[in-house]
Structure 1
Amino acid sequence: MFTNSKLAKSVKLACLFSAASLVGVAGNAAAQEESAEVVEKIQVTGSRFQRTDMETASPVQITSDVEIKLSGFTRIEDLLNSLPQIEAGQTSFLSNGASGTASLDLRGLGASRTLVLVNGRRLQPGGVYSQSPDINQIPAALVKRVEVLTGGGSTVYGADAVAGVVNFVMDTEFEGLQMTVGTGAYQHNNDNDYIQGLMDARGFEYPEGNSGLDGSSFNFDVTIGGAFDGGKGHAVAYATYRKDNELRQEARDYSSCALSTAGNSCGGSGNAIIPNFYMGTIADDGSYDFNNFNDYWTLNSTGFEIPSSGNIYNFAPVNHFLRPDERFSVGAFVNYEINEHFNPYLETSVMRDVTKAQIAESGTFFNEAYEIAYDSPLLSDTQRSQLTSELGVVSGENFVTYIGKRNVEGGPRASNLEHNQIRIVLGTKGEINDNWYYDTSFQFGTSASSAAYINDFFGPRITTAVDSEACAADSACIPYEVFTLNGVTPESAGALTGVGILNGETRQTVLTGYVTGDLDFTLPSADAPLAIVLGAEYRKEEFERLSDEVFEKGLLLGQGGPTASIAGSYSVKEIFSELSVPILENLTVEAGLRYSDYSTSGGETTYKIAADYDVVENYKLRASYNRAVRAPNVAELFSPQSLGLWSGVDPCSGSSPQLSAAQCANTGVTAAQYGNIAASPAAQYNAVFGGNPDLQVEVADTYTLGLVGQPTDDLNFSIDYWNIEMEDVIGAVGAELTVNQCATTGAASYCDNVNRNAQGSLWVGQSGFVQATSINLAGRQWEGIDLSVNHSYEIGDGKITTKLIGSYMMTKEYDAIPGDETAKYDCAGNVSTDCFAQPDWRHTATVTYSSDSFWSVSAKWRYFGGVDYVGSADRILLKDDGIGSQSYLDLKGSFEINDYTGVLVGVNNVLDKEPPLVGGALSSNANTVAGFYDTLGRYLHASVTFKF
């Protein structure tokens, strides 16, 4: 496709997209004289053309295997989450709501809009809670490079590449035997005066001083590869093992209590060790009347304490801050050249991953209104007297109560998550003739996963255990002595718990074939012929999740509602083409077209046009436009609608609501309820979530414009502007946004989705909720600038290389309801309950010194710009005007002991920088934006590699 003359000009810039160590290679390539020597062609993310260089008209950021090893991370998501273009998706630092998988979220558009590839082919979806690819499958030790295409790629790869593409290129040509043994651990000095003062005020315990080494990990990787059959074939096999030990929130002072929504107190939960109650009467028509609903009752040594004097439970310490995880994977890559026309290949991988997401003990969670007989033996005479004086209930009558009791006697609850994944690719490629090349493959991937939720309160058993007559009739029932101070025993608590089981499987089948080559036509103004790609693809996505009866009916009180079974599938048939047109010797235009026929939504067309122009020697302009789509996944299409939880604030709750009585009336609050609706102590409220079989594909237009330059052989840079505009976004109006918009606008489109219970609550019981099911509802516009600079120079007997990668977010605008300007909001540089903490500017800067001896050292500066707080509740962020800028310093040393042994030691976050604290409504885990900022303090790691 390209002559060696073209290569000599283009390879000079290839180092821009790779590790800084490639800078010298680029300079040498540029100095070579033109020759007729055959140069190997490769395929770079963003196009299926076979190229002799690593540059494309679309911006591609490359992370080399050297950078991966120097990071010290054995969880590949930890490394990629440090790239400025990526926000944290599912990570090991999540517990409540964890899927057990690891996902990538390019640009913050969502993991489902980031297409993940291995050697240019799709990675199958993850598990029972996730439809995004689980990159736990990726063996970090065998990754040759990671290519991040920061623009739409649907024309080349099909749906889901809205934000871009992350392609893991594996070292399929590895030679020899390599074994790596590594370990790592965290260390932190607990000296946060702010949160320690809040815990002192509550009487909570917390750690002080040096934490010692904790959250440790161990990994062992082995890779073997070589040629066979006289060099016709080549095979690489690998095996990896990784074990991460747990770390609970009690290990850090800044996570040892759960901050309130405002962040100015240790909040905790009204589901306490000593139970709290909402008490009410039962009318003749069976309706409930809760007077003073804003006040808890609790217990003291003689009876009820009315009202409670602040009885809450600090549920934070037993929650996982870092989940325990154990993973084993094996795989192989085999290529065999029968002849130049027929080169079959095989890729296989198998992975088993087991993790446990532990959270605080279960509780009754004010989930159900229990009718209790006044004459129940569970009550004392003093309590009966109080019921009479406070509520007017007398002998022979019943009263009603919501109970908030934490199951500390039964221990923490946990979700035991297991994923077993298999991926097989079988294909063949080769030359048709001197100008044409083909590649065809069959791919099958499956993820079998399960979740066993243990030690959660089983709702029907609670109902029986507080009903003295029903309990007496059940020989297995132990009365729940919830009205007696410290009356609940471990035995009675254990009899009230249950287990819920989910089993799921995703299956992805892909059949792809394409040809590419030069056409026998060259424009008179150009020196290279036109080139074309023609191909077709069939893909089928299947997902089935089976809930046992416990999950299906929502019988576990700590689940927030039912978890329904899901079963569904869709298929898509596609044809695609790319065309490369050299207009001038220094100007090439590329175009692409793909037609997709979905079994669920019909036909969709995506297309692209791109150009790169060598303005002068060593300087290139590039531009591209892509129409991208994302098809709704099986869960979005077929999930039954069910009750769940959202984190945030009900602005009409509390004794002093944020909104006026008139505004709250729009949301269904009566005059009598205003100021008497209890806020959820855990900042969690009910919502109905679920799928929609009528969903259509999302549509996005992506624009890029960039300049690539290499002023000298040792210095190169790129600067790229990008813009992503989306329509028909699949999702739901955020529950809190729905409540606020209903209150301020009174619009039926919002208010019809706010359903308060009879007491005005959105969290007590299950009859109050916000409707938040999936629809094609909205638009988004993201735009920004990416910068990359590489430089190297000789110093003494060694070399210093520097690399800067930065990203500036200009706009991150959500258009929640098309046509409603009041619903628009911009998250660039902001943090709120609707905005992830996305800085305007974020970068990594690395300086490496390589001696001419056996050692090298590097330092990396990771920088997160400050973000402004948009809201009124979080007092921490109000005081500081948001989250201040964060800087982290990483130091590494690499030592080649001999020809067979290498040692790497390093410290990430050398200065032990704490993550910024946020209030309960903004925290993803442990009062932090977990997994985005450095979460646990200083990280020390070391590894030894043996290669033969």
Structure 2
Amino acid sequence: MNNTTFRKSLLAATIAGAISFPAAVLAQDNQEDGAQEDVERIQVTGSRIKRTDMETASPVEMVSSEEVKASGYTRVEDLMATLPQLETAAQNSFVANGAAGVANLDLRGLGANRTLVLVNGRRLQPGGVYSQAADVNQIPTALIERVEVLTGGGSSVYGSDAVAGVVNFVMKKDMEGFEVSLGTSGYQHDNSNEYMQGLMDDAGYEYPTGGSGIDGKTYTIDVAGGSLFAGGKGSATFYATYRTNDEMLQETRDYSSCALNGAGTVCGGSATAPVPNFFISPYENGAPNFDEEVFWSLTPDSTFVPFSDNVYNYAPINHFMRPNDRYTFGSFVNYDVNDNFRPYLETSYMHDRTEGQIAQSGVFFQNFVFDVDSEIFNDAQRQQFRDQFGADTDQIMAYIGKRNVEGGPRINNLEHNSYRIVAGATGALSGMWEYDVSFQYGSTQSSSVYINDFYVPRMPQVLGASGADACGEGCIPYDVFTYQGVTPEAANALGGTAILTGITTQRIVNGFVTGETDFSMPSSNYNIAAVFGVENREVDFERVADEVYQLGALSGQGGPTNSLIGGFNVSEVFSEINIPVIEDASWANSFVIDLGYRYSDYSTSGGEPSYKFAVDWQVNDDYKLRGTFNRAVRAPNVAELFAEQGLGLWAGVDPCAGDSPDYTAEQCARTGVSSGQYGNVSSNPAGQYNGIFGGNPDLQPELADTVTLGIVGNPLDNFNFSIDYWDIQMEDRIGTIAPELVIRQCAETGDARWCDAITRSPSGDLWRGTQGFVSATNVNLAESRNSGIDANFNWNTEIGGGQLAVSMTGTYYMTKETTTLPGIADPIECAGFINSNCFPQPEWRHSMNFTYSTGDWWTVGAKWRYLGSAEYNETADELIGDGLGSMSYLDLNANFDVTENISVLLGMNNALDREPAIVGDVNSLNGNTLAGYHDALGRYVFGSVTFRF
């Protein structure tokens, strides 16, 4: 092989689309003098055309199995969150309130449902009863060979959902031997946050101090093995894994031991308190008189006083990290009958169980009518009612806020059982063409069992409300009008359970042929290569809610959870064409054009094309230029189409509530606030309000145009880099219009399409009971533009008799802009900002690896993870300081080959115990932090030992 050819091969093999960890991927046979070169062709994420290297016109980020192991993470979402291209998804292990029990990936912050997840190049099925995105809990980290991240549209190659890109988990399939790994990990933190401790001292709350010890412990067992059979014609690999981790409550960290207010300046709390609070008004002629409403608290002598600071610190009992038990097993089998028929089989199964624990249930300001002469009131209380409302007051209406501290926390038990089977065959049709046909079936059965929440239909009777049945034999009164009058027995009797069960299935039949034609461009020595294929995919989703869920009969659920049954079918044809235009010209070593097209016919929304055009220009031995244009498509999923419309909660503020509303009386009147209510409408201390949410069967697919332009260089033998500009512009985005924005648009414009969506309760609020709400169902409306630059480099050198390898991947975010109401509302820019509309998006973020090895029995590594600052860009969101400061994390690891068959891994992530940034209620994900974005629990220590046989 001449030097030029070798240099080209080395460049292709080492750059690999700007990989984040050095890898050799080009396979070559040893050759005798004069023997013909035999180079293996492989298939890379972003194309079905097999090629001799991993370099494509589309940028592909890679994470090797060595980096996966060195990270020490046992959860796939924790590993992937270290990549700058991924944003913390809505679902991870640090979600308690609203937990779905799944783990999702979110490229570019466009949402998990716009990131396509593959395993060995084929779709992973959707998650569970609450989720339409792929659940990466199904993927065992110990079996990952590498992860390929295509950071651009991929719909023409893979179909719907690949708007932000594709994450492909390539699994180990050709193992020989047997391997057992035993691991453990946990968190450690020094509780010394003076700011938070000061706020809790002011509030009189308890909190931990000093070292935490090791908590949140995880234990893992990973078993894998494989061998050849049938004289080397076949190979089989199997695996089995088990992982369990302990729970962590918010009380274990000082910075999460109280719930901050919206501004992050005071330890807040809930007015639904252990000692009850009441909104009370006279009830006259069948209606309450809210003009005379008072807000009272109960005293130790069972009388009423005006509310002052009787709030409950609900934070400590919430999960900071959920407990989890998960096991998986599966296999990969390949058998070469002959060159024309090579069948393969993949199987996988996962069982996962977790629970999301949040603060106790209670009577969350549900309203009831009471007779003043009822025996539930004492004489002093009766006199207070008549002194306040008039001597002839016979009935009052009370909104009751009483926390169930006597009965313990609410718990959502979440369970998932997923299995996936891929059966297919590949082989040669001729010397130039190959086929691949496969059938894939994936299914996830899941359930949600919500326990220890209050059952609302029992409340009138046990509270003694007017018109309810008397609390007789077998009924235990829930005595909220007597100080500490509620007993544990009364609390338990009022508890209820709600059950959801669901199953989602995905069936895919796929077939394609790939190879080289007999045609070539006149200026090229290479033939045009192509792929032609067809695919049929059917997705069905069924979620069945019991009567308790459907009626919204549990006090702390915020509204009904309805059954959801639906599905769709899509038939597709697709093609790719690889056109070598020229080689060995004065201006190019090679110039190649890639074309792709897919037409998708959906049973729900009709036909929609996607396509791509890509250019790969190898300028010389050291540099190449590349560029792509992709039209990407995402069809609406089952929930977006068919979810029954019902009541739920949204976080934010009612700008017409409080004693100093954001808008004038005239503007708030447009939103339904009367002149008498103006300045007297109560705001929710927890920042949650009612909304009507649900599906829309008339939704159309989302469209996105993705452009990438880049340069790849290998100027030195030990140094390579890539720089890629990317731009994703979307239209017809599916989503809801933020209820708070609806209120503001109504107040500012008076337009009926906004004002008609607002229904206020008789008292003017949007949160007490269920009578006040904002309608916000799914629509095709929003537009967005995300753009930035990805930069990568790899460098290695000899130092001290060993090899030092350094690699870096970073992203500079230029634009992250969303226009919720095109032509009406101004675009919301999130690049470099954080606020109620923007998940924090630093302008620069990177991950840099350092690995040193002598080639002997030990290897050490370090990683520098950096997240740039993000500013608050709305006055209402000026929380602690001016925004989020930059954050650097240092991760350390060391691997020791104790013997030929035993190795030990030790490590510590966030070795300097950097605390997460503290944010107020408006922006917090959990525990006053951006859990999953920042390291939420302190330093993470891990260790494992691996035995090979």
* TM class by smaller structure: over 0.9
Shift of 1:34: 9.6
* Mapped partners of 2:927, 2:820: distance in 1: 29
C-alpha change, 1:133 and 1:838, in structure 2 (3 Å) is same
C-alpha change, 1:292 and 1:7, in structure 2 (3 Å) is farther
User: Is 1:137 the equivalent of 2:175?
Assistant: no
Q: Secondary structure at the match of 1:582?
A: strand
Contact 2:261 2:920 in 1 (8 A): yes
* Mapped partners of 1:524, 1:561: distance in 2: 68
* Mapped partners of 1:353, 1:44: distance in 2: 31
C-alpha change, 1:766 and 1:361, in structure 2 (3 Å) is same
The residue aligned with 1:170 is 171
User: Is 1:161 the equivalent of 2:142?
Assistant: no
* Candidates 818, 826, 846, aligned match of 1:843: 846
Query: What CA deviation, in whole Å up to 9, does each residue of 1:216-236 have, x standing for no partner?
Result: 100000001110010011000
User: Is 1:865 the equivalent of 2:868?
Assistant: yes
Q: Gaps (5+ residues) in structure 1?
A: none
Stretch deviating more after TM superposition (687-696 or 301-310)? 301-310
Shift of 1:292: 5.7
* Mapped partners of 2:43, 2:292: distance in 1: 69
The residue aligned with 1:499 is 497
* Mapped partners of 1:603, 1:20: distance in 2: 38
* Mapped partners of 1:7, 1:416: distance in 2: 57
* Mapped partners of 1:802, 1:5: distance in 2: 26
The residue aligned with 1:222 is 223
Q: Which amino acid aligns with 2:779?
A: I
* Mapped partners of 1:318, 1:343: distance in 2: 56
Stretch deviating more after TM superposition (597-606 or 748-757)? 748-757
* Mapped partners of 1:359, 1:32: distance in 2: 69
C-alpha change, 1:562 and 1:20, in structure 2 (3 Å) is closer
Shift of 1:661: 3.1
* Mapped partners of 1:436, 1:321: distance in 2: 54
The residue aligned with 2:516 is 518
* Mapped partners of 1:526, 1:722: distance in 2: 30
* Mapped partners of 1:208, 1:922: distance in 2: 25
C-alpha change, 1:31 and 1:139, in structure 2 (3 Å) is same
* Mapped partners of 1:449, 1:143: distance in 2: 25
Query: What CA deviation, in whole Å up to 9, does each residue of 1:293-321 have, x standing for no partner?
Result: 5x521111334333112100000000000
Shift of 1:202: 1.1
* TM-score, L = length of structure 2: 0.97
Contact 1:249 1:319 in 2 (8 A): yes
User: Is 1:592 the equivalent of 2:592?
Assistant: no
The residue aligned with 2:46 is 46
* Mapped partners of 1:415, 1:33: distance in 2: 69
Q: Which amino acid aligns with 1:330?
A: F
The residue aligned with 1:760 is 764
C-alpha change, 1:13 and 1:930, in structure 2 (3 Å) is same
Shift of 1:36: 2.1
C-alpha change, 1:592 and 1:32, in structure 2 (3 Å) is farther
* Mapped partners of 1:517, 1:183: distance in 2: 47
C-alpha change, 1:617 and 1:33, in structure 2 (3 Å) is farther
Percent identity between the two aligned chains: 54
Q: Secondary structure at the match of 1:928?
A: coil
Query: RMSD between aligned alpha carbons?
Result: 2.0
Shift of 1:9: 1.9
Contact 1:175 1:224 in 2 (8 A): yes
Shift of 1:883: 0.6
Contact 2:577 2:596 in 1 (8 A): yes
Contact 2:20 2:63 in 1 (8 A): no
Contact 2:84 2:847 in 1 (8 A): yes
Q: State the number of aligned residues.
A: 939
The residue aligned with 2:265 is 264
**What are the residue-to-residue correspondences of 1:668-817 with 2, within 5 Å?**
668-817=672-821
Q: Which amino acid aligns with 1:411?
A: G
C-alpha change, 1:571 and 1:327, in structure 2 (3 Å) is same
The residue aligned with 2:404 is 407
The residue aligned with 1:81 is 81
C-alpha change, 1:189 and 1:433, in structure 2 (3 Å) is same
The residue aligned with 2:389 is 391
* Mapped partners of 1:292, 1:147: distance in 2: 64
**What are the residue-to-residue correspondences of 1:472-491 with 2, within 5 Å?**
472=470, 474-491=472-489
Query: What CA deviation, in whole Å up to 9, does each residue of 1:750-787 have, x standing for no partner?
Result: 32222221212111111111111101111111111101
The residue aligned with 2:652 is 648
Shift of 1:23: 6.1
C-alpha change, 1:911 and 1:766, in structure 2 (3 Å) is same
**What are the residue-to-residue correspondences of 1:257-656 with 2, within 5 Å?**
257-284=258-285, 286-291=286-291, 293=293, 296-366=295-365, 368-392=366-390, 394=392, 397-467=394-464, 470-472=468-470, 474-585=472-583, 586-656=590-660
Contact 2:275 2:402 in 1 (8 A): yes
Contact 2:259 2:315 in 1 (8 A): yes
C-alpha change, 1:30 and 1:844, in structure 2 (3 Å) is farther
Shift of 1:859: 1.1
C-alpha change, 1:513 and 1:23, in structure 2 (3 Å) is closer
Query: What CA deviation, in whole Å up to 9, does each residue of 1:643-700 have, x standing for no partner?
Result: 0011112222222223333433332222322221221111111111100111111010
* Mapped partners of 1:548, 1:907: distance in 2: 45
* Mapped partners of 1:874, 1:195: distance in 2: 19
* Mapped partners of 1:470, 1:478: distance in 2: 14
* Mapped partners of 1:645, 1:97: distance in 2: 11
Shift of 1:28: 11
Contact 1:13 1:716 in 2 (8 A): no
Contact 1:374 1:394 in 2 (8 A): no
* Mapped partners of 1:24, 1:690: distance in 2: 49
Contact 1:798 1:849 in 2 (8 A): yes
User: Is 1:22 the equivalent of 2:22?
Assistant: yes
Query: What CA deviation, in whole Å up to 9, does each residue of 1:500-555 have, x standing for no partner?
Result: 00000000000000000101011110121101100000000000000000000100
Shift of 1:713: 1.5
The residue aligned with 2:835 is 832
Contact 1:23 1:713 in 2 (8 A): no
Stretch deviating more after TM superposition (851-860 or 775-784)? 851-860
Shift of 1:57: 0.4
* Mapped partners of 2:313, 2:323: distance in 1: 22
C-alpha change, 1:271 and 1:315, in structure 2 (3 Å) is same
* Mapped partners of 2:870, 2:34: distance in 1: 52
Q: Which amino acid aligns with 2:838?
A: C
Query: What CA deviation, in whole Å up to 9, does each residue of 1:683-733 have, x standing for no partner?
Result: 111111100111111010100000000111110000000000111100011
Stretch deviating more after TM superposition (534-543 or 762-771)? 762-771
* TM-score, L = length of structure 1: 0.97
* Mapped partners of 1:85, 1:851: distance in 2: 32
Shift of 1:364: 1.1
Shift of 1:817: 1.2
User: Is 1:197 the equivalent of 2:198?
Assistant: yes
Contact 1:336 1:344 in 2 (8 A): yes
Q: Gaps (5+ residues) in structure 2?
A: 584-589
* Mapped partners of 2:195, 2:574: distance in 1: 58
Query: What CA deviation, in whole Å up to 9, does each residue of 1:79-137 have, x standing for no partner?
Result: 10111000111110000011100000010000000000000000000000101100000
Q: Secondary structure at the match of 1:127?
A: coil
**What are the residue-to-residue correspondences of 1:243-254 with 2, within 5 Å?**
243-254=244-255
Q: Which amino acid aligns with 1:599?
A: S
Contact 2:471 2:477 in 1 (8 A): no
Q: Secondary structure at the match of 2:127?
A: strand
* Mapped partners of 2:463, 2:392: distance in 1: 19
* Mapped partners of 2:31, 2:827: distance in 1: 53
Query: What CA deviation, in whole Å up to 9, does each residue of 1:895-939 have, x standing for no partner?
Result: 111110111100100111111011111111111111111110110
